[in-house]
Each structure stands twice: as C-alpha cells, then as structure tokens.
Structure 1
Amino acid sequence: MAEQDWTGKSKGKKTGYQIFVFLLRFSGLRVAYSLLVFVAFYYLLTSRNSNRAIYQYFRQIGFGKLKSSYSVYLNYFVFGQCLLDKIAAMAGIKTNFKFDFEGEVNLHKMVNQGKGGILLSAHVGNWEIAGHYLDRIDAAVSIVMYDAEYQAIKEYLDRVTGKRKTRVIPIKEDMSHLFEIKTALENKELVCIHADRLLPGSKRSLQIPFMGKNAEFPYSIFRMIIMLQAPVSFVFSFKESANSYHFSATEIMQFDGDRDDELKKLSGSFVAELENRLRQFPLQWFNYYDFWKA
C-alpha cells in the first residue's frame, strides 16, 4: 500500500535541489527541462509508494490503467518543471514566464477592504511561483507552511535564492502559528494556506466527496477561518506551457453567521473548486500519499 498519511515532509532530497540549481545557472531552463526526462524516470523506478499513490489518483479521476501508468511518469516530469521554475524565479535566473491572471480583481477588492484575507490553495500546480510575483497586489503576503520539511533543503534554498519576498509562518505543535495568522490579518496582510492535507497527528477531519470518493480534509484549517471571520478566496496557479502559467482567484467569501453551516459551505466550495481546476490540469496533483486511504 501507499503511505497512509502525509508525514509533513515534501518530496525531494537536498542533492536533487543542488543539481537543479547547478543546471539552471550553467545551462538555462530549457536544457534543465530536457534532463528531467531522466530524473522523472529515476523517480519512477525508485518511488514505489509514490507511484502507487499517484496511480490511484489518476484511476480515481477516471483514467484507464494504461493512461494512468503513463501519467505517473508525466506527473513526475511536470513536478520537476514546476520545481525548476520556482527555483529559477526565486534565484533571479532570467526567465520569460507569462501569467494569465483570472480573477485578479478579487484580490484587489480583498486588499481594498482593509481587513487582510485568507488565500486558500492546495498542493497542486505551482503556487509558490505565483506567490513570488504577488507584488502586483498592494499587500504584504505570508505563507503558512508545515515546519517538518528537511531543514537542510530549506537552508540550502535560502542560501541560493536569497531572501523570500513572502514571509513564512511555520505551523507549530504549540499552535502559536494561530496568533501569527491573526496578527497578520490585523496588519491587513494576505495569508496563504494549503487546505488539502491533514497535519500529522490530527485528531479530527472533514469527510468530503472528492473526485467521486470521500477523502479527509483538515477540519482545523476551515474551522480557524470561520472563527477569524476573514475574507477568503481560493487561489491556484497551474503551468499551461513551458513558459506560461494560469493564475486564478475566486470571488471573495465572507463568514460571520452559523459556524457549523458556514464550515460546511466553505470546505465544500473549496473542494469543488479544487476538483474543477484539476479537471483542467489533471497532471499537476502533487500529493504523494494515499489521499483516499484505500
């Protein structure tokens, strides 16, 4: 079986990141892309648990057995492209990325309300590269992340990419990140949160139909948003071609009434939007564990 739960660590090793940065600096993005053919094949040969999990995803969304098997390889390839794009943008390496912004006006409206806001996304596409270009929006941006990623990778990327344009709020066991999020909203910041993974050790989840079968989504994140009564938009950034991305932001949702009903409405709306975007970009799902706990 594939891994049953997310462990709090992202896919990849420090050596792989070092190779990517070397290739980007000395050969450029397109040459680095070409070498991903071999990198993706390596992961296909060595990542048994991830293979099973991502194959299950493709079967769940309706792909046949043969198409699902081939799509596992393509998924690794696109994941590598997104990673290269992110590193290139953060390191200041010359690129010619183009962005198609859908619903950008919704983020400007959120900022103009003067209350800050929550941007909900998921481990799909390439949110981090979009976050790097959010200076189009006149507001400070904080990204909430789980702090159990390999520390060596984080330190290495900090060295080679320089200071991030966005501030990171690490999720901690003592729940102190909740106060940081509240403070960020009070300072009229936009706070970006991924709402598709349960945190390790979570005791409560939401069972929501996703791609035709119930899956667990994090109760704590949706509950927190309802309690904070913060404006919310669902944001996604997907790679459309070698040098173009599609960024989308939904209309603002505001919650200040019955908490149970609104929690159900918020979580259901988010999952529906996630499904809709994945139907458009099915290869860009990057949760490498048994999402449906089959």
Structure 2
Amino acid sequence: MQADDKARESASPEWTAKPERSNLLAIRFIVWVALALGRPVARLFLYPTSLYYMLVAGEARAASKQYLRKALGREPRIGDGFRHIHAFAATILDRVFLLNGRFDKFDVRVHLDDTARNMLVQRRGCILLGAHLGSFEITRAYAHEIQGPPASVVMYEENARKLNSVLQAINPELTQQVIGLGKVDSMLKVRQALERGEFIGMLADRGLEQDGASVTCDFLGAPARFPSGPLRMAYMLKCPVLLMVGVYRGGNRYDLHFEELADMADPALPRDELIGRTQQRYVMRLEHFCRSAPYNWFNFYDFWKP
C-alpha cells in the first residue's frame, strides 16, 4: 500500500471501515419472505435477528449504549438497546415494501411547515437534507401519495455503488434515481434535476471529507463532526434546503417532517455565515428528534470520536 493510500485510509471516518453484514443472496431472501409471506409474518423475524445482532455486534452495542445515554438522559437498560436495534431492523424490512410500491401498508402522517408546503405547490426544486435517523425511503411514499416531484438520492460513488446493488436486488427500476458524486457529470445531473423542479435527497450526518470540509457542532451535549459538503453544494447551486426526517413510531406508523433550513439563493448573509447557521440549525433539529424519538438514530459507531 502506498503512503498516500495509507493516509487516506487513516483519515477515513470510522463508519466507512465497518464490514457489510449482508449480501445480495440474503437480501433477495428477505425480499422473498416479505413479499411472499407478508409484512406481519416477516416482522416475526425481527425479534431473533435483533437479538442475534445484540449478541454478536459488540461495537454496535457499545455505540448504541453511548448514544442512548445521551438521548435518554439516563443509563440505558438492556431493553432500550434491544428496542433501538429492533427499530433499525424494522425500518430496513419496511424498505422492501416501500421500494416496491406497497405504500398502502403504512400509516404516514405528514408535517409540513409553510415553506415546505409552498415549495410543493410551486414545484420548486430543492435539496432535502436527511440523516441516518428513521427512514429516508418513506419520502417516496409521500411523493407517491401526493403525486409530488421525482426524487433522486445523491451520495459518494462507493456508497452509490453499494446502494445500487441493494436496489437491484429489491427493485431494479430504482437504480436510476441514485446520482453518484465524483463523476464528471455529477453536478450537472444535480443541477438539471433541480431545474426540472425535482427533489435531491442527501444524508448529511456522515461524510468522507477531511477536517477542513467538516464543522464541529454540539450534539446531545458533546462535540461531533458533521460534513459541510452538502450545504456547500446547495450554496453553489443556489437552491432551497429543507430538513427531511421520517420518524418510525412503531407498528406501521411513520411521521414525516419537512422543515425549512435555509434558502441558499438568499444573498442576505455571507457564504460562510449562512452555511454555518444552517449547519447549526440542522444539528439542533436532529437533536430534537433524537430526544423525542430516541430509538430512531441509526449510526452504530462512535459518532463523537474526535
């Protein structure tokens, strides 16, 4: 391994080094069980799966405990850890139904602020900033229900390749909705989608950026690093930015929240100040949802590691 390769490896955040715990055969089996036997039967598998994960995934279990201690404001019990992992498993299973258009199986309650409502009416393209909190896929259910604009997901090329492999196993028609960063035409595709009035979804709680492209914010009482790349992209494209959170409430219920974070076309503030304020608001809202729905945070690694 060359020196620069070693440097890149050592600079990569911890979550990128986690091994993949699934493979395409397992995914196809889960898809078959879910679609052939139905959601109630498939959900029975969540209990042994969650228990197995608790027993064998020591680092994830420790990370869950670290997070829950901050979110709950008390020492988490064994039942809290199981509930945390079970909620994660439930949202993964629900992806199978959501990505195959089985929206009728879910009770989705939508909460829009005035800005988000106006953007839907005006069909104005915008960037949706999400996180590994709840379900990102539930947005498709809402878009389908209101016949809203198409939505594409933007992510780093390696993650896009992995996601496309999963989508290929679940529903091959959806692979075209993933835009991988790092290609010559990546930004052009994003700009064209925004000009067509489409939504561009990005997860903004993890990143591959170096220290210079991240911002440290207070999150649940301790400093944590958040990538600034998504907001820098939004500023460059001069587009509105909304927070999107699909909170899993148990059973078949999801609460979907759309909230304004900033309009990057507004020249009222200098670039760095506007990005900084928007980043802080994003983190504050994540903190709000982590406290109100603590078992929905799905970053199973040491998120506060310097």
TM-score (norm 1): 0.87
CA distance in 2, matches of 1:280, 1:10: 30
Q: Which residue of 2 aligns with 1:218?
A: 227
Once the two structures are TM-superposed, the CA of residue 200 in structure 1 deviates from its matched residue by 5.9
What is the CA-CA distance between 1:93 and the residue it aligns to? 5.0
Higher mean C-alpha deviation, range 69-78 or range 122-131: 69-78
Runs (5+) with no aligned partner, structure 1? none
User: Is the deviation greater in 264-273 or in 53-62?
Assistant: 53-62
Matched with 1:18 is 28
In structure 2, distance between residues paired with 1:79 and 1:248: 19
Contact 1:110 1:231 in 2 (8 A): no
Task: State whether residues 123 and 149 of structure 2, in contact with CA within 8 Å, keep that contact through their aligned partners in structure 1.
Answer: no
Residue equivalent to 1:40: 50
Once the two structures are TM-superposed, the CA of residue 107 in structure 1 deviates from its matched residue by 3.5
Q: Percent identity?
A: 27
- Indicate the structure whose relative CO is greater, using CA pairs within 8 Å and at least 6 residues apart: 1
Preserved contact between residue 6 and residue 198 of structure 1 (Cα < 8 Å): no
**Alignment counterpart, residue 116 of structure 1, candidates 125, 134, 150:** 125
| Residue type at the aligned position of 1:76 | I
In structure 2, do the counterparts of structure 1 residues 152 and 280 end up closer, same or farther at CA, with 3 Å as the change threshold?
A: closer
Give me the CA root mean square deviation.
Answer: 2.7
Q: Given residue 284 of structure 1, which amino acid in structure 2 is its aligned partner?
A: N
Please give the secondary structure, in 2, of the residue aligned with 1:214.
Answer: strand
Which residue of the partner structure matches residue 187 of structure 1? 196
Q: Which residue of 2 aligns with 1:85?
A: 94
Question: Once the two structures are superposed, what CA deviation does each residue of 1:226-276 show, in whole Å capped at 9, x if it has no partner?
Answer: 232211111111111311110011136313231111011100111111111
Equivalent pair of 2:167/2:174 in contact (CA under 8 Å): no
Alpha-carbon offset, residue 196 of structure 1: 0.5
Unaligned runs of 5+ in 2: 1-11
Cα distance in 2 for residues equivalent to 1:10 and 1:217: 22
Aligned to 2:154: 144
Aligned-residue offset at 1:137:
4.8
Tell me which residue corresponds to 2:305. 293
**In structure 2, C-alpha distance between the alignment counterparts of 1:280 and 1:129, rounded to whole Å:** 19
Alignment of 1:146-161 (within 5 A): 146-149=156-159, 154-155=164-165, 157-161=167-171
- 273 and 8 in structure 1: CA distance in 2 versus 1, 3 angstrom threshold: farther
Tell me how far 1:218 sits from its aligned partner. Answer: 0.4
C-alpha separation between the residues in 2 aligned to 1:153 and 1:145?
9
CA distance in 1, matches of 2:64, 2:16: 16
Structure-1 separation of matches of 2:293 and 2:76: 19
Pair 1:162–1:104, CA change in 2 (3 A): farther
> CA, structure 1 residues 110+6, in 2 after alignment: closer, same or farther (shift >3 Å)?
same
Equivalent position of 2:276 in the other structure: 264
